[in-house]
Structures are given as C-alpha cells and as structure tokens.
Structure 1
C-alpha cells in the first residue's frame, strides 16, 4: 500500500520522479518518500528537506531505504541532511542517493550535482545502531559525515559502500572552515547560515556518547579515510539481533572488528571535555581532556597497501589487547608517518599472537614511521608457537626499501616478557629504521629491540646488506635494560651497524642483558650519559666490527659500576680494528668480581673473536681510556686489551687520583683474551695470547699507562702487558705523585712466555714505592727481557718480593736492565735479578743516598753461560773503592786495626780491608749490618737521618737476623753500623787525612 503524502512531499516526489526516475512513467508507481516517521522505520527525516523512502527490496534481496533531498547551500559541494533516527538493521541498506536537493530557501536543484561532502545529523537522542550497510549512489568519491551525539554502534554484519571518505562522530557540531557551525541540535538560525566550506573541526559542548565497533568489517575505497570521533560517555542500546539491552563503554571501542582504508587514513579520536578536534590532523585544542580508546579481541586497523597510508589515534587512555594497527607498504613509499598515536593518558599493549603496531615494507618502497606520545606506556609480548617470534612494534624491511622509524615519547615505559618489543631491522638490502625512546622512567625487562639484522642470516646465505638503524633511549630518571633484554643495532658482515645513545640519571644494564652495536663496515658508536651507570649479572655493553675500524663506546657518568661478571667491550671479527672504550666517571669507576653468580669476570675489554679455527685477519683490539678520581678493580675484575692474531692489542690509559687493584677469582672468558678456567687476579691487561690466528707475524701487546696520586696493588692484583707469541710485550708506565704499594701476591708484569720480547716497565712512584710478597717482572722464557725503571723521591722498599728482568732463552737473548733511584733503598729477603741462562745478563743500577739490604736479599745480574751483567750501586755511605791486591800470608787481626789504626803505616806499606758475604753484595766499610734487634717503625722524608740516630740494643751476633713486624704490620729490619763513616779509607798512607804521623 502506498503511503499518503502531504503537499510538500508530493511536490518533492514529483520533481524526483521527473528528474531522476525516468524509468517510472508515473510517480504513483515509484518508490514513495516520507517526511514523517513510520512506526517501523529505523531512518526518519527531521528537516533540511531530507527525504527517506519507505523500505523496499534491493537488488541483492536486502531491504533498502533511499535518502534524497537535503540542503545544498548555493548549489555547492556540501549536502546537508537531518535525521530524527538513523539506524540500519541487519540485511538493511541506507542508501544516500544523489537526487534532487534544495537551497536554503527550499528551491530544488537538479539531481546529480557534484558533491564533496555529505553531512548528516541525528537529532532524536537515540543512538545509531548500524548492523546493516550504509552506501552512497551517484556521489562519486564524495565524503560522508554522520553525526549523532547520542552514540553510534556497529554490529558484526555492518558494512560500508562509500565512494569517498567516511566519518562517524558523536560531536555536538561540525565547525566549517568559514566559522559556520552545523549543529547536531536543529537551530533555524544556524541552519540558515550553512555554507559550502569544508569541515575544519569537530566540536564538543556537552558530554557526548561513545562509538563501538563490535565485530564489524568496515572499509573505504583505496586512498580514502575512515574516521571515528567520539565523546567518552557510555550508553545502552537494544541489540536488533537479540533484542537484549547492551551497554557500550565510554570512548571508542573496536572489538573483533576490522577497519580498513588501503593507502588511506584511519582516524580515531575521543574527547571527554568541551573543545574542538581538528578535522585535518585530528589534534585537540590545548587543554582538552581526551577519552578512552580500546582495541581488543583481534581487532585490526589497517591502511596497508602498495602505498601505505596513515593511522592516527588521539585520546586519553589507549588500550591495545590482542589487536593490531597496521600500515605496511610494498613497492611505493608509504606515508611518512604510518602510525601516529598521541594520547594524554596511559597506553598499554598486550599481544601474544600478533604484533600490535606494524609499518613494514616488503618491496622497494620505504616504510613509514611509528610515532607514539603517551602519558605512560606498558608493553607485554611473548613468542608465538613453533619458535616464531613476533615484535610488538614492527617496522622491519624484507625488501629493498628502508624500514620505518619508531619514536616513543612517554612518561614511564615498562616493556616486559621475552619476545621482541621493537623491530626496525632489515632482513635484506633495505636499511633498518631508527628507534628513539624518551621518558621519565624506562624499563625494558625481557623483550628485545633490534634496528638491524642477525648476522646468522648472512651465514645462511641470505642477502643482508642493509645497514642497521640508530637507537636512542633517554630517561630523565631511570633507564633500566634487563633482566634478560637484548638491545641491538646489528648489521651483516657487509653492512653498517647503527649508533646507540643511552641517557638517564640512573642507567642500568642488568640480569644477563646484551646491548650491542655491531657492523661489518663503517664505524658505529655507543654513547652513555648518566649520573650513575651500572652493569650487573653478566650483562654486556658491546661494539663489534668486521672490516672497518670499529665503533667506540663512550660513557660519561658520575659513578660507573660493573659487577657480577658484566662487561663493556669492543671487539672485531676480521681485519677491522676494534673501537675505543672511553670511560669518564667524575666520582668513581668500580669493577667488582665479588658476589659473582657467573664464571665471567667483570671487565672492560677490547679483543678479537674467532669464528672457527685458522687465520682470521689482522684486526686488533682497540684502546681503552679511563678518567676518574677513583678506580677500583676488585675480586678478579679486569681491564683488558688482547690480540691473538696479527693485529696489535690496544693501549690502556688510566688517569685517576686513586687506583686500587685487589683480589682474584676463578674466571672463564669466552674468547682467547684469557686462559679459560684460570685463576685470574684483578688487574689491567694488554697482552698477546696464542698465535694460531696470526697471519704472518703476530701483533704486539699494548701500552699500559697509569697516572695517579696513589696506586694500591694487592691481594693478587695484576698489571700485565705480557706476550705468549712472537708479538712483543707491551710497555707499562706507572706514574704516581704520592705512592705505589704492591703487596700480597700482586704483580706488575711485562713477562714473555713466547718468542716475542718482553716489554718495559717504568714506575715513578712519587714519594714512596713499597712492595711486599709481590713482583715486578719483565722476564722472558724464549726472548729478551724488558727494562725496569723504578723511581721514588723518598723510599723504595722490597720485602719478600722480586724485581726481575731475567731471561731463560738462547745466546741471542739478554736480560733487561734494572734501574732504581730513590733516597733510600730497603731490601728485606728481596731479589733484584737481571740473570740470563745462555744469553747476557742485564745491568742493575741502584742510585741512592742510603742502601739497606739484609743478608737474605740478592742483587744479581749473572749469566749461567753468557756474559754477566753489571751491578752498580751508587751510595754516598758505601765506599767500595781502592784496588784489589794480594794480601800477605799473615793476616793481621782486625781487632788490632780497630784499636790502633796507625799501625799499618809503620812499615810504610799500604793495605786494603775487604769484607765479603756469601751470595750477596759485600757489606761495605761504613755500611749497615743486620742485627737481631727490632727497631721502632719509621717512615717519612727524613728516613736516612732518622736511621743514623737509631740506638741499637744488641743481643749478640746472629748471621741470619730475623725480619720483624711492627704493631701496624709494616715489616722493618734492624741495622747497625759496621764502622763509623770514613773510618776505613781508600789507603793507609802518611797523610793528614788519616790522622797518623809517619
């Protein structure tokens, strides 16, 4: 039955029939249009000359409602509609038809006018429930805007068939570019001002309702936009499928739904306070409170295409739970910004089986970037089954195009679980993308961040020439990487790794975490700026290279601590030299191997790694430079540069007011820098280790330079620049302004155990050099020993220790020279040796005003089969002078000479007095002899003067006087004078100098 029409509808129907429905011979047989609502009609007009047909069958068997009429100001591109209710049940179609429209005065325009925007409002305060299809006919690529402040919900069967972009909003008005408002509430005054200007903003006056997409698959044409702009008020509606009352939470919710705009835009924005949201970039005005957005249960927002588009999200709180936002590109460059998230509240991502955000490329096109700006960000992810790992944020490239960048600005970031957090890497020729993360507190607990590729791809024959992207993480408070996190800017053997910057008040890499820049070519670098930098529990900060010089690691902090077997290291796999490590700690640097739950030493290391046996190249280790007021190396920790190929070990430079090296541990190092399983003292090492990887001559050990006020080397602590192959040992230069103390099994060594010559050791100890139960050695088994020079202003003391440059090699080898130059030398059960076996002994030169040595001490430069070296002791109190001559067979008792020193002149002859000891330097006239009596503890600059005034309490002669300890555990030796200084002179002659008359 055909409905009755009033006069206005009759005219409109006649015009519509005459102008657009030429197939109808009479308007009475055409589809009727209504002005007032049918009781059963889900779509009703409410003014602006909007006309809605009665339901009629569509070609596909669905029920269709045709919508025509509307206001077209000035016949322009904007067409305005007004509905009382607007819902589309399942199997129903709401069809916007480009028929007759009207001007503001009701004058009709011909059908089919060009249209840019269809703008519709819903006025009856009922939500729009869309379970069917919304489509446009005859509008080309015109955009559709549907505004209903009471809420919009899309059901599982909802769909769109629109030529242009589509926007659904619960705003209170649409703000046109000419400042005209299209209000959701009918207003004759403002409606009379409607214009043809484009939409500029979405306006909110009162709390507006939400938008929900529940299992819908909504898509727009390629290159078009699909937008949802909502308030934050929840609402209820009657589900047309079940008849049940159903609630919708505030904001925007997409549950199980798929939103698609291939190569176009998807925009979600939710507001909770008055204000406007831009219709261009969907940014709210300053200070506007934003609403919630939830994506869950497999929801997908997708602008992927051959040329990918953009997804924008603007809101308060954003939740992504087992949902994905994707904007992948292929053979054309994607939009510069693929995913743009800006929320004022917190953001959370929790996916187990799929990535949350993707902007990847599989072809020649460059992927777009992902930008996130949020209050706080929490990310949870895990691995897929069957070993497949999916990144939560993924912009990687598997083609020739570059991967997308990722930029995150947030308050507190917390990423947890074991899989990938961010992957901007490359699996092919394309370059990896950059990652930038800024926040207050950043914690990466478990997941990985990668901007490059895993070198194993190249080992498997894949073409992975793409360079890695750069990575920057900056926290105003805490930056924590770990436990069990991996941060990598790794590239293939023929590609360049990315640079890495880590900044924070407190930066920690903990729990077996691995932070690495890694490249085959081109220098990369790691920079860490912090108040406190801490590495713990086998965590690693690494820079590796293959061909070109490696990247540097630079740290600037107040305090730097490496504990629990953690390492800062640079390394090389090939001909490239490893990068430099530069540590600046304005207060303290501590390397501590105590309380170590691993078998690895805490270390700063530069070395060479070998993949498989055989020669591997000429890449050497890089230099290490440390600048800090206090350096502590404890419990088997170490600073090490080593080489086991043709490259040289890097130099080590330490500048510190106080250096303490103490303790040892059972250490295992997974490369050739140290012997596996060896007991290793805390220390500083620059060594050559092994020769199986050398191409020709092996490289040399590096130079160790330490500048300090005080150096304390104890309890097995070590400074070692030795060699085990044909490379030369390195030199060691220790310069202190106050003192050098070496005790309790500590050592300074440039020892050689291979054919390479030992290095030299130079120690300027400042005021005092004190060594107990320790050694300074440049010994060599097969080559020549290095030279040793020890200098101090006041005292050089060796107790139960050894200074040795001895050699055990063939005739061509020679012991190194030893020079000692203080005010006072004290040797207590000490050895100073420059011996040789078949070669020549070295020379020993001791220059001191006071030379004190007990009978058990040895100063020896002899050679077993070669030439012995010389021992020269220059001391004002030791007059070993005159000539050696044969004595008469009858020896005068020395007591007679002591009682009458002029008797020897009676015959006018000359004599010489010699007192020789066994295996030691003879005691000299006027010198000091051992005594069993202990003396008071003495130190200080007035050592010589103080010693000359000592009162001796003799208990009898003992040829092996004991060494005794003072109450402060400082070993001292009691001494007595052989004769008064000057009593025995060069010759007994008739001279005024002798005091005897002829």
Structure 2
C-alpha cells in the first residue's frame, strides 16, 4: 500500500497505529558492533561506525561512509540501536541535506539515548520491525526528523529505498521522496516515552503508534498510523505534543487520546490542529491552536469527537466537527464554531477529578458567569473571542529547551500571542442539535 506524506514543504505522508510496549534487552559488551551493525547491501559504500569519537564535546559513536546521491546520503544497517546514556551521531558531509537510514534485519530499533546529526541535515529512520524511543531518548538534530515502520521510501523517479528488499536495483539516481510503501502484513509499531524535539518537522509514521512521551517540532508535527494512534499521560508524567506550525494526528482505523491526568498535558499548534480518522475520535485532552481546530474523516468530511471527561478547545481560528458526545465541552474560538450535534452526558452533580475547566467569563452585557465543569455538566461554546481571552499555552514540560525554541518558526508558545490587544470579532456559532443524555 502506497501512502503519501508531507515533510517540510515537499513531503506528504500517511500512516496509522495501535501499540505494543516492548523494549529489547541489550548488552554493554562490544557496544558499537552489538548496537550498530551495518549490512553489505550498499557494497563498497557501506556505513562505517567509529566508537568513542568526540562529537559536540562528548564521546559518541560516529556513523560515516554510506552512499551519496546528489544532496542525499544513504545508510543501511542490520541492527540499529542507541544504548541508554549512549550517543550516536551521523556525520554530515558537505552538501548533504538529507540522511536516509534503513534497518534490514529482523529486530526492533531501541533508541534509549541520544540520536543526532553532526551537522544541519535532516534524518530519516526506517525500520519495518518497529522503533522504541525510551524514557531517556532525545534527538540532537538541527533539521527535521522522520521515523517510520514502512517497508520503503518511494521517490519521484519510481525508485525505492527499501528495508524489506535491500537487494533491489542500486540507487543510481534519487529524486525527492514522495511517499511510504507498507507491506500487506506490516505490523511494525512505534512507541515513545522520551522527549523528542527538533527545530524542523517531526514525523512519526507507523502501523500503530503508542505515544506517552513528549513531542516538539519547531515546524510541523505529524503523527500518522496505518491502524491506531494511542496517546496517554499519567499523574506523574505529562504528554505534550507541540508544533510551531501544523499539528496533524491521523489514525486510519482509530485515534484514542487520554491526556487529562497531568495538569501540564496538552496538544498545541502554532498553526492548524487536525484530528483525522474514519471513526469517532476519543479526544480527552486540552487543545490550543494558533489556526483552526478541525476533526475530520479520511475523505475530508467532518468527523466525530467523544470524551468521558471535559475537553477544552482553544483556537485562534474556526472550530469544526460533526457530532460530540461527552461529559462536558468547552470551546473558545477566535473564528466561527460549526458543530453538527452536541450530546452532554455528565451527571447533574458533575464529575470527580481536577481535569475540568473552572473560570469566570464575561457576557456581552458585562455579567460575570462562573463556569465549573467539575460541578455541573457544561456546554460552553464561545466564538469571535479575542486572542487575550483565548490565552497562550504556556508550555512548561520540555526540560532544557530554550524559551526561544520556536522563534525561527515565527511562533513562540512561551510569549503572549501578538494579537493580545485585538478586539473580539463577529463570528457564527452553528450547532444543529443539542442533547442531554444520562451517562451509561
């Protein structure tokens, strides 16, 4: 099955995912050879791993060699892992803008330490068996990062960089990557519990995705699964997905988001925020969009949203979805709001817990009204709201990242939005039907 994808301005991707939790056991002996084992599929252009090289002021395993084609560099490995506390870097020859790495063996890649590029090139990691980013996983990449469990990358000239069939015709010439090719029985999943951050695009595309860590992209963030996307947090560990540009979450079978256990959890986009799946999306989270917020099906029509708790949607632009079913719902939109039907299922006494919106709002006549989703089921929908009322995300969960991380992308989550003093605009609220239903 061929999927299309978007990375930066020239790649478009599709994917899907439900997940498995596994970490492979690794030995500290023979570190470079045991964790990074090049194959022979590139002939005399095979990858070369040199351990204990000073890279950016600390020791690391440095990957050199590979096959250069124009501005692209290709590597091929039987095994590709990064030990907990370890550092693995790709050398970045002059003129190389993209580094492509495939895993042709039969094992999952465990990224438990730092994976980086000693330069400004973007990095692509391809392993059909699966990829695990552990608790201490982090990226040191100046460009974009793309990880996938597809069988191959497909290029514009029809050639493929395949992990499933590495002995196909050699890379005589390579153009821009156009898509991903998954096998008929692909099962590779991607799990993350680490802190993955890049200043460019961040894309995670697999058969199933199990995302419990933190994901930060200075530009676009895309989480795409051939089957299911599962996102969750805990009382002690927040989940954050943040993009300076567009945030897209797509599950070709399902999307399940449960991220209201930690007060700092949330999904944030400097541009549009899009949830996409053919079935109703479980969207238990707080959302913030500098553009529009939209739930849609794979064909582009409006999709459905459900939540057992109290999702809060803040958007500088429009908010659109078809049917909502949940305990409460809060929407603050700078543009219009378009909902097919809203069914509120919360109990009269409200819902236990601390994950509900509590604030005072000012009506057009100046009256102050208290909103508390924890005391009573609430349908609170506001359109044409000023940016000041919508507020800013104030993300605090990325340890060690500079506050100006998004500056180059023209957006900074940690500063008030530039339209802070803009007056509210006129906007429509369209809800075709409102219902109240006793919870099951």
Alignment correspondent of 1:196:
174
Q: Per-residue CA shift, 1:361-399, capped at 9, x if unaligned?
A: xxxxxx3111111564212334xxxxxxxx52122xxxx
In the alignment, does 2:256 pair up with 1:319? yes
8 Å CA contact retained: 1:312, 1:340? yes
Task: Report deviation, 1:62.
Answer: 5.9
Query: Match of 1:404?
Result: 317
Matching residue of 1:342: 276
1:269 to 211, 224, 227: 224
Structure 1 residue 350, shift from structure 2 partner: 2.6
* Aligned ranges 1:868-879 → 2 under 5 Å: none
| Residue of structure 1 aligned with 2:292, choices 365, 369, 388 | 369
CA distance in structure 1 between the partners assigned to 2:55 and 2:168 by the alignment: 41
> Pick from 332, 354, 378: which aligns with 2:306?
378
Q: Per-residue displacement from partner, 1:779-830 (whole Å, max 9, x unpaired)?
A: xxxxxxxxxxxxxxxxxxxxxxxxxxxxxxxxxxxxxxxxxxxxxxxxxxxx
Q: Residue 445 and residue 497 in structure 1: after superposition, are their counterparts in 2 closer, same or farther (change >3 A)? A: farther
- TM-aligned CA deviation for residue 486 of structure 1: 4.3
TM-score (norm 2): 0.69
Q: Report the Cα offset of residue 344 of structure 1.
A: 2.0
Unaligned runs of 5+ in 2: 1-29, 298-302, 351-355, 369-375, 387-422
Question: Does 2:59 match 1:93?
Answer: no
- Taking the aligned partners of 1:57 and 1:379, their CA distance within structure 2 comes to 50
The residue aligned with 2:314 is 394
- Aligned to 2:273, the other structure's residue is in SS state strand
Given that 1:296 and 1:320 are in contact with CA atoms closer than 8 Å, whether structure 2 keeps it comes out as no
User: As a proportion of its length, which structure holds more strand?
Assistant: 2
Change (3 A) 1:226 1:486: closer
Kept in 1: contact 2:343–2:436 (CA 8 A): no
Asked if the contact 1:230–1:269 (Cα under 8 Å) also holds between the matched residues in 2, the reply is yes
Distance in 2 (CA, whole Å) between partners of 1:341 and 1:314 is 6
1:158, CA displacement in angstroms?
A: 0.7
For the pair 1:444 / 2:367, whether they are aligned, the reply is: no
Task: Give the conservation status (yes or no) of the 8 Å contact 1:166–1:225.
Answer: yes
Q: Distance in 1 between matches of 2:339 and 2:282?
A: 16
Aligned equivalents of 1:340, 1:151: Cα separation in 2:
25
User: Who is 2:17 aligned against?
Assistant: none
8 Å CA contact retained: 2:342, 2:435: no
Query: What is the rounded CA distance, in whole Å, between the counterparts of 2:56 and 2:380 in structure 1?
Result: 56
Cα deviation for residue 155 of structure 1 reads 0.8
Secondary structure, aligned partner of 1:179: coil
**CA 1:496/1:115 → structure 2, altered by over 3 Å: closer, same or farther?**
closer
Map of 1:300 onto structure 2: 240
Q: 2:124 maps to what in 1?
A: 145
**Displacement of 1:444 after TM fit?**
3.2
**8 Å CA contact retained: 1:453, 1:490:** no
Greater RCO, 1 or 2 (C-alpha within 8 Å, sep 6+): 2
What are the superposed Cα offsets for residues 437-481 of structure 1, whole Å, 9 maximum, x if unpaired? 23xx641345999xx962389579xxxxxxxxxxxxxxxxxxxxx
Return the alpha-carbon distance in structure 1 between the equivalents of residues 231 and 380 of structure 2: 30
* 1:225 alignment partner, one of 184, 197, 201: 201
Cα pair 1:171 1:208 within 8 Å, conserved: no
Decide which of 145, 150, 165 is 1:171's aligned counterpart: 150
SS where residue 228 of structure 2 aligns? coil
1:245-290 CA distances to partner (integer Å, 9 max, x unpaired)? xxxxxx11111x111112x01111111xxxxxxxxxxxxxxxxxx3
Alignment of 1:948-963 (within 5 A): none
Deviation (angstroms), 1:292? 3.3
Distance in 1 (alpha carbons) for counterparts of 2:191 and 2:139: 15
The residue number in structure 2 matching 1:499 is 428
Kept in 2, the 8 Å contact 1:181–1:194? The answer is: no
Counterpart residue number, 1:428? none
* Unaligned ranges ≥5, structure 1: 1-36, 99-111, 232-250, 272-289, 329-333, 360-366, 383-390, 396-402, 425-431, 461-481, 512-998
Q: CA deviation at 1:496?
A: 6.4
Cα gap change, 1:174 to 1:457, in 2 (>3 Å): farther
Q: How many residues align?
A: 338
* Shift in Å, 1:484: 5.3
Distance change >3 Å, CA 484–CA 358, structure 1 → 2: closer
Task: Give the conservation status (yes or no) of the 8 Å contact 1:78–1:195.
Answer: no
Whole-angstrom CA distance in 2 between matches of 1:194 and 1:146? 21
C-alpha distance after superposition, 1:101-126 (max 9, x if no partner): xxxxxxxxxxx331121111001111
Give the match's secondary structure for 2:102.
strand
Report which of the two structures shows the higher radius of gyration computed on alpha carbons.
1
- C-alpha separation between the residues in 2 aligned to 1:188 and 1:267? 30
Q: How far apart are the structure 2 equivalents of 1:292 and 1:495?
A: 36
